[in-house]
Amino acid sequence: MERERARRLIELARKGNLRAMGRLLTLLEKPSQESMWILEEMASQAGNAHVIGVTGIPGAGKSTLVSKLIGGLRRQGYKVAVIAIDPSSPITQGALMGDRLRMQEHATDPGVFIRSLSTRGLKGGLSLAALAMIEAFDAFGFDKIILETVGVGQAEVDIMHAAHTILVVTMPGAGDDIQALKAGVMEIGDIYVLNKSDKPEAQKTYEYLKFALEKGDIGEQEEGWTPRLVRVSAIMGQGIEDLVNAVEDHYNYVRETGRFGRSIESRRLLLVKLLAERILYNILEKAAKEVARTPSQTDSGRIPIAPLSLALVEETCRQASTTIKGKMLLDL
């Protein structure tokens, strides 16, 4: 019955029904038997969209930049989808998602679909939902999928690897050359965007970034692609054409070198790994209850942390091989 519903939703979505698309995305947010079936359907129809990751420090102007990028890509005739990720409260799990408000000028454009996603205080959960949504937007026929996320934490660096093209957005005064040297998200850009470049201190930051790029401190030099630095003022609408050109150049590069397909393969492998991680985590949670039930303080009073961990691994493996046989432990 659920599969029938999913099938009908997919049929409607294919015809361009926005509500059906919205609902399918909701179903994909949470792993379940139904969502897995949808995901497989979506992935089978996907593989054409260019995925653009946009990351950078909070306040760098990512959402405003994305809005301008949408406009630039629309002028090229592309259909554009956006997945805007905002943090959720670790305490209440609630979220106030405000990225969308910078992009509302595109709300009534039939060639644009914007969807907000909260991090849900869970690393794997975020990535899994975002990756599933990429497959869906790809299947819905969007040419460009922009994935916008705050560039803090390993999960967000991981998720960026699902993108064909990575934009790292920074702004004047966001730190000196030492900040640029630091490990993390600054390392992974294909295109570096200095936003707010209408500000007076922009020239200095531009020089720092240019120097860091030339020295190879940031950005990974690849055969056939040298990371670019683009100066933009999203709010003033300056430099947008340069940015769109850089994105298109990178797109041509990934297409011509076969990286396009390889990137899709690796994003699907990441999806499979994250799903396995989720299933394993569910079993681990169950097994932990078993292990906790057996009090195992040794006679000497020593707390056996390492042996308990091993016992938990053992119990997890046991449950994984015996109790789940063919059953998905997603709905736990």
**Residue whose pair of structure tokens reads 């099938």 in the numeric block:** 7
Residue in 268, 170, 257 with CA at minimum distance from that of residue 219: 170
Q: Which two tokens stand for residue 14?
A: 């294919």
> Using CB under 8 A, which of 3, 48, 75, 98 touches other proteins?
98
**What H or E segment, with its residue span, contains residue 117?**
strand 112-118
**Applying CB under 8 A, what is the total number of residues that bind other proteins?**
45
- Using rule CB under 8 A, residue 3 touches other proteins: no
- Distance of closest approach, residue 283 Cβ to other proteins, in angstroms: 12
- Using rule CB under 8 A, residue 125 touches other proteins: yes
Q: Which two tokens stand for residue 7?
A: 């099938």
- Using rule CB under 8 A, residue 95 touches other proteins: yes
Q: Which is nearer to other proteins, 94 or 301 (CB)?
A: 94
Only one of the segments 59-67, 196-204, 246-254, 279-287 lies at the binding site for other proteins (rule: CB under 8 A); that segment is 279-287
Spell out the residues 6+ positions from residue 90 whose beta carbon is closer than 8 angstroms to its own. 121
- Using rule CB under 8 A, residue 116 touches other proteins: yes
> What strands lie across the sheet with 112-118, from one edge to the other?
112-118, 80-86, 144-150, 50-56, 165-170, 191-194, 228-231
Q: Are strands 80-86 and 144-150 parallel, antiparallel or unpaired?
A: parallel
Q: Which is nearer to other proteins, 253 or 281 (CB)?
A: 281
What is the footprint of other proteins within residues 23-52 (CB under 8 A)? 23, 25-26, 29-30
Decide: helix, strand or coil at residue 230: strand
Decide: helix, strand or coil at residue 222: strand
> Using CB under 8 A, which of 206, 251, 253, 281 touches other proteins?
281
- Distance of closest approach, residue 295 Cβ to other proteins, in angstroms: 21
Sign of CA dihedral 68, 74, 75, 78: positive
What is the footprint of other proteins within residues 284-323 (CB under 8 A)? 285
Q: List interacting residues with other proteins (CB under 8 A).
A: 5, 8-9, 12, 18-23, 25-26, 29-30, 88-90, 92-98, 100-101, 104, 107-108, 113-116, 118, 120-122, 124-125, 278, 281-282, 285, 331-332
